[in-house]
Chain A
């Protein structure tokens, strides 16, 4: 009595040995060749491939350079700005503040003090602007 496994193996072997009949093989070959003749086989020239690779790499490099430089400048500018602000607060404000406080100083002195303070601030802003532009 044949087991199922043996039966299955026999069926598989039989199918493997039974090659399907290929009718009109020559006609099919002609049909394939006809289709192939109508197809353009475009090949990208190697030099174009290299141009694409190099331009792509250059574009990426420039982008990285741009972002790296702009980050650096912002860091320098912000450090300078905070240093500038600290200087203003400590030196100039305290002088005019003291004058303001004192009853014996006249308005002209106080006004002059603030004018000087503003001039110094404007000058420092000019310097800061020059540095950030450079």
Chain B
């Protein structure tokens, strides 16, 4: 659900005055975007929903810190990626060096099957296989650039990393994935 900038600004101002209806409008407008990012990073539906909930709770608590010089979606992405990064760094999501079966990518994503919609479990499998051995930061930067299709300037604002560091992480992530695909 797209929300125009004037309506968004009004909703923000009303939310600051504890107007729940206005805040609900913000949640409904942006929760799909946050869910999409969270799912692509953690590859789990329930975890992604937890991240969405945590994100909007933090938005409610810290809305007074938001400045309109920054795009609201950028600010939301920044909060969500911090939560995702903590999850990725935690014990459960440590990347392993176990042998990964890249044929699952060929099965699910082929030139003949471009119009078919993947189930969440299949999409999670493809993403996990592709990004299995990347570090949490590389995964985050890779997802923001290639899956969310964000420009490097916006990723700088979201992550606080310099453009050089972002590009270096992207280069290494892509190089690593390409080598794995060649070997498979």
Chain A residues packing against B (C-beta within 8 Å) = 2, 4-5, 7-8, 10-12, 14-16, 18-23, 25, 28-29, 31-33, 35-37, 39, 41, 43
Contacts and interface: CB of A to CB of B under 8 A. Distances in A.
B123 to A, nearest CB: 5
4 cross-chain pairs, A with B, having the tightest CB-CB distances, nearest first = A20-B39, A12-B146, A36-B60, A32-B56
- Which label, helix, strand, loop or mixed, suits the secondary structure of the A interface? helix
A39 B148 CA distance: 31
Interface in B30-59: 31-32, 35-36, 39-40, 45, 48-49, 52-53, 56-57
- Which label, helix, strand, loop or mixed, suits the secondary structure of the B interface? helix
Interface in B144-184: 146-149, 174, 177-178, 181-182
The interface size bin for chain B is: 35 or more
B11 to A, nearest CB: 14
Given A8-B174, A14-B109, A25-B31, A36 B20 contact: yes
Given A15-B40, A33-B20, A36-B57, 11 more contacts: A4-B178, A7-B181, A14-B114, A16-B146, A16-B147, A22-B32, A22-B35, A22-B36, A33-B23, A37-B20, A39-B61
